[in-house]
Amino acid sequence: MSTPQLLAEHFFRHEYGRLVATLSRRAGAQYIDAVEDAVQSALMSALESWTVSGVPDNPTAWLFRVAHNGLWGELRQRTRHRRIMEQNTTEVAAAPQDRVEPFLAGEMQDDLLRMLFVCCDAAIPTESQLVLALKILCGFEVREIALRLFISEGNVYKRLSRARDRLRALPPHLDELADEQYALRLPAVRKILYLMFTEGYLSSHAESAIRRELCAEAIRLTDILANHPVGESPETSALLALMHLHSARLTARQDGTGGLLLLEEQDRASWDRREIAVGLSWLAKSAAGDVFSRYHAEAGIAAEHCLAPTFQETRWDKVVECYALLERIAPSAIHRLNRAVAVAELRGPAAGLAVLDGFQPPTWLAGSYMWVAVLADLHRRCGDAHTASGYRELACQLAPTTAVKQVLQRRLHIAHAAASPAGRPTRRCT
Amino acid sequence: MPKYLCLQRKLADGNAERPSPAQMQEMYAKFGAWQQKFKKNLVDMGGKLGDGKLATADPAPDGPFVEVKELVGGYMIVSADSLGQAIEVARECPGLVGPGSGVEVIEIRTP
């Protein structure tokens, strides 16, 4: 008996994404359900067959052939879709086994990217776009998505069905995207990838492997986008830079028991130097041209943190500058709050408070632990113990998880060094 | 060593959930580990069973027959010192025994 061959990490999930993308381009995105069924069945056949007879020389081609035949078998049976059959008969007949593979090689990356743009249809709500991308491009099942996004399975189903309804409504063979469609949808594509990343980065899931997964998926897809003519642009480079720069510090954000660590408590030696280098090279690439996006500002902040030899030696003037730019490009109260924290490091707690002086935070922020915790910290450092303790109590009450509560207690009760939510993606509070 | 025929039986109400791609990856790895562990016992990995028909001396009567593939998912042949040991090999096989399926282990008697 031969030793079973090892398959690449996430082989089944990634093949799922590639096959769904390729087959739905050929059949039409309106057949997404049949496509997904065919791919699922092909993967099951692979599991059954490869464990007994070994992995074929070209597993991707093997899967494609099985899924392709399964799909067209199904479509053939749907008599009302006879017209599609006729259009594709030649292809089925002309696709002998050995010709599938060379045909695939150059095409699958394009198809994956194309499917990402199909997902980012303006008629599909953003939260449905994200779930759809996780389902069909990353190969996650409903319960796996629910676990990773901290939402119910019912909610995942609801979001998915909205997206699928839209895909099914696309007229046959008219879902091909024209060049201008790619350009139009590019910002939405970047946004989805950004969301996918921050969902992983800010996740309070106890297992670090699960937290890392969404970040890794976002980086994988953004990398394809940034290296492809339809997606390469300074903004995409900046997005990829910020992902790598944050990702470099992902492991260091937690202690051995899953507790959160403040930036100043993190062991900088455990930051991933290789990731930082990759991030910085994308950041350099993003400087081409005169575009300065929110991704540039966020990547700039992340880079400052990665490059600072110690917390104290952080170039807070640069961080403040980037937050000010970020506030201008993408006005948000959370950016102002982060700027206040950075200003407090640069010019002292009173200057930090001055940034927030007279500022009315929106309800979602005023009711979040972050806002209250920053006030508690700044007031304490200004010597106003009474005001500080009021905010401190409130912050601990508002803490969403035990890990956050612990970090707040440690920070607001004992520590004298500065706390900073600076340099993290800011979506947690939105 | 005696040989045993293992038949995977689909049990009534066995409506196991479809595994996700990530779970398939896990099953693949577990299956590999199982094959390594029992490589001395695994004589024939067998396979799935498809369509069949009853052949008799008379012209084949028209059914109804219980379709074999509805009851039996697949077969394999293992060698073991005893029925108990053969059951152990089958029981540890990932995916063979679980919600909705079980394995019938039958001794193959050779004269």
Residue length, chain A?
430
- Chain B residues whose CB is inside 8 A of the A15 CB are 21
- Chain B residues whose CB is inside 8 A of the A47 CB are 24, 27-28, 31
Q: In the prediction, which pLDDT does A79 show?
A: 59
User: How high does pLDDT run on average in chain A?
Assistant: 85
DSSP code for B72:
E
B16 touches chain A (CB under 8 A): no
Q: In the prediction, which pLDDT does A272 show?
A: 93
Q: Can you state the percent helix, strand and coil of chain B, rounding each to 5? A: 25, 30, 45
**CA A200: distance to chain centroid?**
7
Of A144, A167, A72, residue with least CA distance to B18: A144
Q: In the prediction, which pLDDT does A16 show?
A: 96
Q: In the prediction, which pLDDT does A153 show?
A: 94
Give the A window 118-177 contacts with B, CB below 8 Å. 139-141, 143-144
End-to-end CA distance of chain A: 56
DSSP code for B59:
S
Does pLDDT of A263 surpass 70? yes
- For the ranges A99-103, A145-149, A279-283, which has the lowest average pLDDT? A99-103
> Smallest CA–CA separation between B97 and chain A, in Å?
15
Closest chain A residue to the Cα of B42, Cα to Cα? A1
User: What average pLDDT does the segment A237-266 reach?
Assistant: 86
Does pLDDT of A2 surpass 60? no
Q: In the prediction, which pLDDT does A105 show?
A: 52
In which band, very low, low, confident or very high, does the pLDDT at A424 lie, cut at 50, 70 and 90? very low
Closest chain A residue to the Cα of B74, Cα to Cα? A48
Alpha-carbon distance of A316 to A371, in angstroms, equals: 20
- For the ranges A12-26, A102-116, A335-349, A355-369, which has the lowest average pLDDT? A102-116
- Chain A residues whose CB is inside 8 A of the B46 CB are 52
Q: In the prediction, which pLDDT does A339 show?
A: 94
Do B21 and A141 lie within an 8 Å CB cutoff? yes
Q: In the prediction, which pLDDT does A109 show?
A: 79
Closest chain B residue to the Cα of A41, Cα to Cα? B18
Name residues whose C-beta falls within 8 Å of residue B74's C-beta, 6 or more positions apart in sequence: A48, B7, B8, B46, B47, B48, B49
B36 touches chain A (CB under 8 A): yes
Q: Are A38 and A67 in contact (CB under 8 A)?
A: yes
Does pLDDT of A318 surpass 70? yes
Do A13 and B19 lie within an 8 Å CB cutoff? no
Do A47 and B22 lie within an 8 Å CB cutoff? no
Of A143-152, A230-239, A369-378, which one has max mean pLDDT? Answer: A230-239
- Residue A48, judged by CB atoms within 10 A of its CB (0-12, 13-18, 19+), counts as middle
Between A80 and A309, the higher pLDDT residue: A309
Q: In the prediction, which pLDDT does A358 show?
A: 87
B31 touches chain A (CB under 8 A): yes
The interface pTM score, or ipTM, of the predicted complex is 0.79
Closest chain A residue to the Cα of B48, Cα to Cα? A48
Q: In the prediction, which pLDDT does A8 show?
A: 86
> Smallest CA–CA separation between B50 and chain A, in Å?
14
Which stretches of chain B drop beneath a pLDDT of 70?
12-16, 60-71, 99
Do A51 and B19 lie within an 8 Å CB cutoff? no
Q: In the prediction, which pLDDT does A426 show?
A: 37
- Cβ-Cβ contacts under 8 Å between A and B: the total is 63
**CA A192: distance to chain centroid?**
7
B24, B36, B42 ranked by CB distance to A43: nearest: B24
B24, B35, B36 ranked by CB distance to A47: nearest: B24
- Chain B residues whose CB is inside 8 A of the A53 CB are 45
A207 touches chain B (CB under 8 A): no
* Model pLDDT for residues A25-61, shown as the tens digit of each residue: 888 888 899 999 999 999 999 988 888 888 998 899 9
* Model pLDDT for residues A16-26, shown as the tens digit of each residue: 999 999 998 88
User: What average pLDDT does the segment A219-231 reach?
Assistant: 93
C-alpha torsion A15→A16→A22→A24, nearest 10: 180
Closest chain A residue to the Cα of B36, Cα to Cα? A3
- Chain B residues whose CB is inside 8 A of the A2 CB are none
Q: In the prediction, which pLDDT does A161 show?
A: 94
Between B67 and A143, the higher pLDDT residue: A143
Tokens linked to B87: 């059951």
Q: In the prediction, which pLDDT does A132 show?
A: 96
Of A319, A348, A280, A321, residue with least CA distance to A422: A319
Q: In the prediction, which pLDDT does A85 show?
A: 58
User: What average pLDDT does the segment A279-298 reach?
Assistant: 94
Alpha-carbon distance of A115 to A122, in angstroms, equals: 14
Does pLDDT of A95 surpass 60? no
B93 touches chain A (CB under 8 A): no
Do A13 and B42 lie within an 8 Å CB cutoff? no
Do A40 and B18 lie within an 8 Å CB cutoff? yes
Closest chain A residue to the Cα of B73, Cα to Cα? A48
Q: In the prediction, which pLDDT does A411 show?
A: 80
Of A204-208, A236-240, B98-102, which one has max mean pLDDT? Answer: A236-240
Does pLDDT of A68 surpass 90? yes
Which of B6, B18, B24 is the best residue to mutate to test the A interface, defined by the most A CB atoms within 10 Å of its own CB?
B24
Phi and psi, residue A146, nearest 5°: -55, -45
Q: Are A351 and A314 in contact (CB under 8 A)?
A: no
Residue length, chain B?
111
Percent of residues, chain A, with pLDDT higher than 70: 86
Q: In the prediction, which pLDDT does A147 show?
A: 86
Q: In the prediction, which pLDDT does A285 show?
A: 96
- Chain A residues whose CB is inside 8 A of the B48 CB are 48
In which band, very low, low, confident or very high, does the pLDDT at A129 lie, cut at 50, 70 and 90? very high
Does pLDDT of A118 surpass 80? yes
Of A167, A209, A169, A214, residue with least CA distance to A193: A214
* Model pLDDT for residues B70-95, shown as the tens digit of each residue: 667 788 999 999 999 999 999 888 87
Q: Are A104 and A18 in contact (CB under 8 A)?
A: no
Do B25 and A13 lie within an 8 Å CB cutoff? yes
- Chain B residues whose CB is inside 8 A of the A1 CB are 35, 39, 42, 45
Alpha-carbon distance of B75 to B105, in angstroms, equals: 10
Q: In the prediction, which pLDDT does A423 show?
A: 39
Q: In the prediction, which pLDDT does A419 show?
A: 44
B35 touches chain A (CB under 8 A): yes
A45 touches chain B (CB under 8 A): no
Q: In the prediction, which pLDDT does B16 show?
A: 60
